[in-house]
Amino acid sequence: MAVLHPLRRVIAYHLLWRDDIHGSWIPFTVPTDEEVLWIGYDATYAPTDVWTYWHGRILHTPWPKAQVAIDVQWGKHGSMPRNVRQSDLPKPRTLNFFYAMTLFGEPDILLGDITRKGPLCFCHGYRRYRQFTRPLVLAERIDAVIRTEDPRAVLLEVFGSKYSNKHQWP
C-alpha cells in the first residue's frame, strides 16, 4: 500500500511479508511481518531521499534522483537503502548479528515450521546472506494508494489484524 503525505513530499510504502523467520511458533503471533519505507521527492517527482525501517530504527540516505532500490534482509525483512555500507547499520542490529541468528536460532526456525510452513534454514554462507540480487518490482504489488497524514484506519482496513502500526512518517 502506498500513502502520499498531503503536505510533505513523501510517499510511504507499507509492505506485508510472510512471517519473520524467528518466533513464528509462539502462540497468537501474527503470521505476517509489516515493513515500511519512505521516499522523498522534489517538485519534478524525482526521488531525493530514502528512509527505511531497520529493526526499530529509521535509516536515511539522500537519493540521486534515480530509480529507488531497497535491499530487504532474508528472514527478518529489515529494509535498507540499496548499497548502504553495512558497517553503518546500527549496533547491535548488524547483518553479522542476524546471520548468526540464522545459525544459533535454528531450533527456533524448526519450531516455527511446525506451526507455519516456511524455510528450514538459510542454507548458504555469510557472503550469500549479504547479497541482494533478486529484484521485486513493487508497482505490480500495490493494493491501494491513499493521500492522508494519518493512514492508520486505512492500513487497518487493508491489512486487518496483521497491521503492526509502525512509524507513519520519518
Query: Taking residues 54-59, what's their average pLDDT?
Result: 90
Which pLDDT score, from 0 to 100, does residue 150 have? 96
Q: Which residue segment(s) compose the domain that 112 sits in?
A: 2-162
64/115 Cα distance (integer angstroms): 44
Residue 170 lies in a domain: no
Query: Taking residues 151-160, what's their average pLDDT?
Result: 89
Range picked from 43-52, 69-78, 112-121 for highest mean pLDDT: 43-52
pTM: 0.86
Residue 102: band (very low, low, confident or very high) from pLDDT cuts 50, 70, 90: confident
The pLDDT tens digits for 114-149 are 777 777 878 889 899 888 888 888 888 898 999 999
Residue 169 lies in a domain: no
Overall domain count for the chain: 1
Pairing of strands 10-18, 32-41: antiparallel
Assigned C-alpha cell, 88: 553503518
